[in-house]
Amino acid sequence: MEKGNQLMEKLSKAYASLPDNEPLKADIFAVAQDLEKNENDQLARAKLANAISQHLLTHHLKTESEITALYNEVADSPEKYKGNAALAIMLGSLFHP
């Protein structure tokens, strides 16, 4: 299965596992829309990882198994995204002193 399709499948399972009034549900929906529009994949994954981290903190590290599986899929994304952004800034400063 393609990596993007696998992520979308996990997003739909996680979305279905949450109650309607849960803020994470809106975040998952927004990320799914961004991914369908082929927006920046790394940015969408970083936003999702941060939203899930916030959810885990507010729920005392107790959540559904679908959310845990989704987090395992995107857990390293914020660090990769920040690293790529820092690299771009540093390379830009080399050529434009």
Q: How many domains does the chain have?
A: 1
pLDDT tens digits along 49-84 = 999 999 999 999 899 999 999 999 888 888 888 888
Q: Which domain holds residue 87?
A: 3-95
Determine contact, residues 10/34, Cβ cutoff 8 Å.
no
Coarse DSSP helix, strand, coil percentages of the chain, rounded to the nearest 5 percent:
80, 0, 20
H helical segments located in 18-40 = 23-36
pLDDT category at 18 given cuts 50, 70, 90 is very high
pTM above 0.75, yes or no: yes
CATH number for 19: 1.20.1440.50
What is the spatial distance between Cα 85 and Cα 11, in angstroms, rounded to a whole number? 25
- Nearest residue to 24 via CA among 14, 34, 33: 14
